[in-house]
Structure 1
Amino acid sequence: MTHPATPADDADPDGTAAGSTAGGGTDPAVAPVPPTRSPGLGRSSLVMASGTAASRVMGLLNTTLLGWAIGLTGNFANAFSVANKLPNTLYLLIAGGVLNAVLVPQVVRAYRRADGQQYVDRLLTLGIALLGALTVVLTIAAPLLVLFYSDFPDPRVTALATALAFWCVPQIFFYGLYSLLGQVLNARGSFGPYMWAPVVNNVVFIAGLLLLVHVHGQVDEFSPVDAWTAGQTALLGGAATLGIAVQALVLLVPLYRSGFRYRPRWGLRGSGLGSAGRVAGWTFVGLVIGQVGVWRISVVASSVSEAGVAGNGVYDRAFLIFMLPHSLVTVSLATALFTRLSGRAAGGDTVGVRRDLSLGVRTVGVFTALATVGIAVLAFPLSRVMFPSQTDGQIHALATAIVPLVLGLVPFGIWSLCQRIYYAYEDARSMVPIQVVMAVVVVGGTELGRITLDQQYWVAAACASMALSYLVGAVIALVAVRRRLDGVDGGRVLRLHLKAGLGAVLAAGAGLGLLAVLGPVQDFRDGLVACVLGAVVMSGVYVGVLALLRTPELHGLVDPVLRRVRRR
C-alpha cells in the first residue's frame, strides 16, 4: 500500500520510501544477495517493473483518496503521517538491515546446501520470533516514539498521532514477514508475487478509506482535533495495518504452490551467521545515519503551526511522487543488474563490473532526466489531478515541495547504483563516510530553512536539502567507485547526461510554453488536460532530441518493452 510514508522498496515496493534514504541511508533494495536462478536482465526488469508500476498506480489512487478522506495539510493528515511513518522507519532501521544483510542472503545460499530446506526453516523461525518480540516492545513504546519523531504545537495532535500509532506500529511484524517470504520466493526463482503483492495491500487500504468515509464522512481538515473519534482511529489505523498483513500473508499461496513447506525449527549453530553479522553491523550504521535526516525532517515538518501550510502530510506525498520514477526504472533495473554485478565482483571481473555500472547509470539517466523535468514542470497540474478537492493554497504547498525534491532524481539514481557496487563487493563500511556527509547536508539544510524561512517553506527547504544530499552523495560515490574500478566509463556517462540534459531543457521549455497557452489550472479537468498534453509534448521533444543526437541508451531503455509487446 502506498501509505504516504512508506520507507523501503524492499519492505514495501509500492510505498513511497518517504525519506528512508535521506542523508544517505542505505537503499534497502540493494542488500539482498542475487537469486540462484535469474532470468535475463530485460525479463527480470520487466517482471519487477510491471508489478511495481501496478502497485504505484494503485498507491497514487489511495494517496488521492487519503487526501480526500482526511485532508492534505491539516492536523489529521499530519498525525496519521507521523503514526504511519513509525513502523516503516523502525522496521527499516532495526530489522530491515539485519534481514537484508544477514537472514535474506542466508536464505539464498541455503538452497545450495543439501539440508537447505531445514536451514531455511530455522532462519524463518528465528526471523519470525525476533520480529514478533520487536513488534511487541515497539508497540508498547508508541507514545515515546511519537514524541521523538514529532513536535506538534498542539498536544491534542500528539495524542491523536499516538492513538493511531498503536494501530500502525504492529505493521513492523508484517513488513518483516513480507521481506522474508518474498526473498524465499525470489531464491526459488519466482519474482512476480513479491512485486505484485502490494497491489492487494493497496486494495485493502482503499477499501478501508471508502468505509471510513461511508461511516464517518469526509473530515474537514480545519475542524478541531477533538472532532476525531475512536472509531475513525480504528478504521484508518486498522486498514493501514491490515493492508500490510495481507501483503505478507498472500505470499503463502505462491510459496505453497511452489512446493515450499515450512516447519518451525530452532538452532543455527555453525551456520556462518557470525561473519554475515559484520556486514549487517555496517548496514545498520548506515541506516542509523540516514534516519537522522528522516527524523529531523519529521520533527521540523510536524512543528508547523499555521493552518493550510505544508507539513508531514505534504512532505510524504511529495516523496511518493518523487519515488515513482525511481521505483519504476532505477530499482527494477538495478535489482536485476545486481545479479551480474555480484557475480562479476566475486569473480574478480573488474572490467565487467565497470561496464555494468556504466550501463546502469546511462540507462537510468535517460529516464530520470525526462522524469525530472516532466514532474517539475507539471507539479501543479499533477497535484491538482491527485487532490481535486483541495484549495489552490494547499496544491501550491504540495507543488512547492515537489519541485526542489524532484531535482535530486538523477543523482539519486546514480547514488543507488553506486550502492550496488559496494554491496557487490560486500563492503557496506566504505559507504558510511559518504552517508555521514549526506546526513549533514539534509539536517543542516532543513534546520537552516527552519531558521531563515517562513513556515510555509520549511518542507520545501527540507526537500531541497535532500535533493542536494543525493547530488553530493552521487559525486563522492562516483569518485570512490572510480578508484576501486580503475574508472567508471566517465566519457560515455558524461556524454549521455549532456545529451539528456539538453533534451530535458528543450522539453521543459516546450512544456512551460504549453502551460502558458493552456492557461491557469483551476480544476481536475484542467489539470488532467495539462498533464496528458504536457507529457506527450515533453516526451516527444525529449525523445526527438536524443534520437537526433544518436543516443544508443535510448534504445536500451525501450527495446526490452518493445520486444515483449511484439512477442505478445
Structure 2
Amino acid sequence: MSRVLRASAIMAAGTLVSRITGFVRTMVLAAAIGTATLGDAYNAAYAIPYAILDLLLLGVLSSVVVPMVVKAQREDADGGRAYEQRLLTLTTVALIVVAALAVWAAPLLIDLYTDWRPGQDNYEWAVTLARFILPQLAFFGVGAVAGAILNTRDRFAAPMWAPVLNNIVVIGAFLVYVAAGRGTSTNGLAILGIGTTLGIVAQALVLIVALKRAGFSFRPRLGLRRARLGEMGRAGVWTIGYVVVTQLGFVLITNLASAAGDVVAGHGITPYTLAFQLFQLPYGVIGVSVITAMLPRMSRSVGEGRFDEVRAEFGSGVRLIASVMVPVSLMLMVLGPAITVPLYARGETSIDDAVYIGQVLQVYGLALVPFAVFQLLLRVFYAFGDTRTPVYVGAGTTAVFAGLMLVANALVPPAYVVMGLAFAYAVSYAVGAGVAWMLASRRVHGLGGWTIGGALTKMYIAALPTAVLGLATVWASQQLFGSLTVLNSLIILAVGGGLGGLLYLTVAHRMRIPEVNSIVGMVAGRVGR
C-alpha cells in the first residue's frame, strides 16, 4: 500500500493545483454570469465539446491509444517515432474537420442537449456561445494526444500543469467580460466563448512545447495503412460503446435540467454542473491518482496469473480511497450549503442560488463512495483486457439512472428536479457497483468482500462523530444567526469541516484504521522535513 500511497500523492499534488484553479474559475464564472438563463446557456455550450471528445477520443485514450504508442515504441525500428507523428497528424486533421462540422451544426447540438427551442434567449445565447467554444475541439484533442505521448515517456509534469494555464486564461476572460459591463450582445458572448477557447489553445501549446523538449520532432504523416486504425478500432470498440452509453445518460440529464431551469430560474443546468464539479473533486484528486498507480500492477498480476495479488491490490485501493471518501461524503451531506455559499454567493449569483447548489451537492454526497468503488471495479476488468463487460455494466447503470431520472422529473416539483437527478445518480451507481462487484468477484475468485466491508464499517463509525459535530454546528448557526450568510458559512466550515476533519483523524487513529494512519504518517513526515 505504501507504494500506491507515494505514487498517488505525487500525482495528486499536481492534480490538486489544477482543481483549485478550476474552482476559482467556476467561482468567477458564477459571479460573472449567474445560475439563471445566461449561466445555463454557457454551461450547455461548454459541455458539448467535452461530450464530442469523449465519443471520439478521450474514452479510448488511456485504454487504447497509450498502449498502442507503447507497443510502437517497443516494436518499431525507429522507436515508434513515425507512428507518434502519424497519430498526431491524423488526430489534428480529423478534429479540425470535426470542429468545423460542429460549429456548423451548433443549433442542432443545442437542440439535442437541451429542452430549449429557437426564439428563447437561452437557446439563442447557447448557439452563439457554442460557435465560439466548439473550435476548441481541435486544440483539446491535439493536446490530449500530446499528453498521452508524454505519459509514455514518463513526462508527467506538463500534463498536470497545462490545465492550470487553461484555467488562468479563462479566469482572465471572465474578468474582461465583467470589466466590459457584462451583457448578452454578440461582443459580450464572444468574450466568454473565445476566452474559453483560448484557454484550451494555451493548454495545447504547453503540451506541444513539452513534447518537443522531450525529444519529439513533428513531421506530418498521413499514411493510413501504417496508423494501425483497424487494430485500434478493434481494441477500442467496447470502450467507445461505454462512452456512448454514458453520453446518452448525459443528454437526458441536460434536457431535464434545462427544462427545470425554464420553469424555475437558477434551478437548471448551472447548479447541476457546479454541484457535480464539487462532488467530483475528492475523486479527481484521490481516486484517479490511486487508480492510476494501481492499474499497472493489477495488469501485471493478471498477466502472471497471481489473482491473490489482484485481490490485495484492489482491496488496498478501495480502503485507501474510502478512508478519505467516507468522511468527505458525510461532510458534503451535512455541510453542502455552507460550502457553496462562500464559493458562489457573489456577483450575479445570490445566496439563495448558492444554497440551492449546496442542496444539490448534499444529495451528491450519497454517491461519492459508490461512484469511487464502481470506478475501481471497472479497472479490475481493464486489468484483464476486458473492455466488453464494463459496457454491459455501464449500460445497465445508465438504464437505471435514466429510469430514475424520468421518475424524479415526473414526481418532483421543478424547483427540486436537479436534486432528484442527483439522487438518481447516487442510487444508480450503488446498483452498478453491486453488479460490477459480483462479476469482478467471479473473475478473480473473490474480492475479499468481508474484509473490505469490515474496513468500511470501521471508517463510517469513525466518521459519525464528525457528522454529528457538523449537524450540531449547522443547528447552532441557525439558532444564532438565522439565515445562511457568507460569514456564518465560514464559521460552520471552520468548526464542522476543520475540527470535524481533525476529529475523524483522531477517532480513526484510535480505532487503528491503517489507511488513515498511513496518510497521517506520510503527511507528518513531509511536514517534519
Look up the SS of the partner of 1:137 in the other structure: helix
State the AA in 2 paired with 1:162.
V
Find the partner of 1:104 among 58, 66, 82: 66
Give the structure 2 partner of residue 134 of structure 1: 98
Find the partner of 2:125 among 149, 160, 170: 160
Find the partner of 1:552 among 500, 514, 521: 514
- CA-atom RMSD, angstroms? 1.9
Give the structure 2 partner of residue 451 of structure 1: 410
In the alignment, the residues of structure 2 paired with residue 477 and residue 357 of structure 1 have an alpha-carbon distance, to the nearest angstrom, of 13
Look up the SS of the partner of 1:487 in the other structure: coil
Find the partner of 1:502 among 458, 461, 464: 461
Q: CA deviation at 1:484?
A: 0.4
In the alignment, the residues of structure 2 paired with residue 438 and residue 477 of structure 1 have an alpha-carbon distance, to the nearest angstrom, of 10
Q: CA deviation at 1:112?
A: 1.6
State the AA in 2 paired with 1:507.
T
After TM superposition, the structure 1 stretch with the greater mean CA deviation from structure 2, 351-360 or 547-556, is 547-556
In the alignment, the residues of structure 1 paired with residue 464 and residue 486 of structure 2 have an alpha-carbon distance, to the nearest angstrom, of 27
Judge conservation of contact 1:47–1:192 (CA < 8 Å) in 2.
no
Give the structure 2 partner of residue 391 of structure 1: 350
In the alignment, the residues of structure 2 paired with residue 335 and residue 98 of structure 1 have an alpha-carbon distance, to the nearest angstrom, of 15
Number of positions where the alignment pairs a residue of Structure 1 with one of Structure 2: 519
Give the structure 1 partner of residue 51 of structure 2: 89
Find the partner of 1:428 among 382, 387, 390: 387
In the alignment, the residues of structure 2 paired with residue 102 and residue 136 of structure 1 have an alpha-carbon distance, to the nearest angstrom, of 26
Q: How has the CA–CA distance of structure 1 residues 162 and 452 changed in structure 2, closer, same or farther, with 3 Å as cutoff? A: same
1:498-542 Cα shifts (integer Å, max 9, x gaps): 011112222111111122223345332222222122212221222
Q: CA deviation at 1:395?
A: 2.4
Q: CA deviation at 1:282?
A: 0.6
Give the structure 2 partner of residue 347 of structure 1: 304
Q: CA deviation at 1:143?
A: 0.8
Judge conservation of contact 1:48–1:192 (CA < 8 Å) in 2.
no
Find the partner of 1:326 among 269, 283, 290: 283
Q: How has the CA–CA distance of structure 1 residues 425 and 558 changed in structure 2, closer, same or farther, with 3 Å as cutoff? A: farther
Judge conservation of contact 1:510–1:541 (CA < 8 Å) in 2.
no
1:381-409 Cα shifts (integer Å, max 9, x gaps): 11110122233431232122111112100
Judge conservation of contact 2:301–2:307 (CA < 8 Å) in 1.
yes
TM value normalised by structure 1: 0.88
Find the partner of 1:46 among 9, 22, 36: 9
Q: CA deviation at 1:273?
A: 4.3
In the alignment, the residues of structure 2 paired with residue 327 and residue 525 of structure 1 have an alpha-carbon distance, to the nearest angstrom, of 28
1:31-54 Cα shifts (integer Å, max 9, x gaps): xxxxxxxx9544432232111111
Look up the SS of the partner of 1:95 in the other structure: helix
State the AA in 2 paired with 1:463.
A
In the alignment, the residues of structure 1 paired with residue 374 and residue 281 of structure 2 have an alpha-carbon distance, to the nearest angstrom, of 17
Give the structure 1 partner of residue 269 of structure 2: 312
Q: Give yes or no for the alignment of 1:258 onto 2:214.
A: yes
Q: Give yes or no for the alignment of 1:493 onto 2:452.
A: yes
Give the structure 2 partner of residue 417 of structure 1: 376
Judge conservation of contact 1:315–1:401 (CA < 8 Å) in 2.
yes
In the alignment, the residues of structure 1 paired with residue 239 and residue 508 of structure 2 have an alpha-carbon distance, to the nearest angstrom, of 39
In the alignment, the residues of structure 2 paired with residue 125 and residue 44 of structure 1 have an alpha-carbon distance, to the nearest angstrom, of 32
In the alignment, the residues of structure 1 paired with residue 266 and residue 45 of structure 2 have an alpha-carbon distance, to the nearest angstrom, of 19
Q: How has the CA–CA distance of structure 1 residues 83 and 565 changed in structure 2, closer, same or farther, with 3 Å as cutoff? A: same
Q: CA deviation at 1:99?
A: 3.5
In the alignment, the residues of structure 2 paired with residue 53 and residue 197 of structure 1 have an alpha-carbon distance, to the nearest angstrom, of 13
State the AA in 1 paired with 2:256.
V
Q: How has the CA–CA distance of structure 1 residues 64 and 493 changed in structure 2, closer, same or farther, with 3 Å as cutoff? A: same
Judge conservation of contact 2:298–2:380 (CA < 8 Å) in 1.
yes
Find the partner of 2:147 among 182, 186, 195: 182
Give the structure 2 partner of residue 55 of structure 1: 18
In the alignment, the residues of structure 2 paired with residue 121 and residue 276 of structure 1 have an alpha-carbon distance, to the nearest angstrom, of 16
Q: How has the CA–CA distance of structure 1 residues 172 and 558 changed in structure 2, closer, same or farther, with 3 Å as cutoff? A: farther
Q: CA deviation at 1:564?
A: 4.1
Q: How has the CA–CA distance of structure 1 residues 131 and 348 changed in structure 2, closer, same or farther, with 3 Å as cutoff? A: farther
In the alignment, the residues of structure 1 paired with residue 112 and residue 227 of structure 2 have an alpha-carbon distance, to the nearest angstrom, of 38
Find the partner of 1:276 among 232, 240, 244: 232
Between the two structures, name the one with larger relative contact order (CA 8 Å, sep ≥ 6).
Answer: 1
Give the structure 1 partner of residue 244 of structure 2: 288
Judge conservation of contact 2:509–2:517 (CA < 8 Å) in 1.
no
Judge conservation of contact 2:132–2:190 (CA < 8 Å) in 1.
yes
After TM superposition, the structure 1 stretch with the greater mean CA deviation from structure 2, 499-508 or 468-477, is 499-508
In the alignment, the residues of structure 2 paired with residue 156 and residue 393 of structure 1 have an alpha-carbon distance, to the nearest angstrom, of 23
Give the structure 2 partner of residue 17 of structure 1: none
Judge conservation of contact 1:279–1:427 (CA < 8 Å) in 2.
no
Structure having the larger proportion of residues in helix: 2
Unaligned runs of 5+ in 2: none
Q: CA deviation at 1:555?
A: 2.6
Identity of aligned residues (%): 32
In the alignment, the residues of structure 1 paired with residue 522 and residue 143 of structure 2 have an alpha-carbon distance, to the nearest angstrom, of 29
Runs of 4+ in 1 over 6 A off after TM superposition: none
Look up the SS of the partner of 2:263 in the other structure: coil
Give the structure 1 partner of residue 292 of structure 2: 335
In the alignment, the residues of structure 2 paired with residue 407 and residue 511 of structure 1 have an alpha-carbon distance, to the nearest angstrom, of 16
Look up the SS of the partner of 2:505 in the other structure: helix
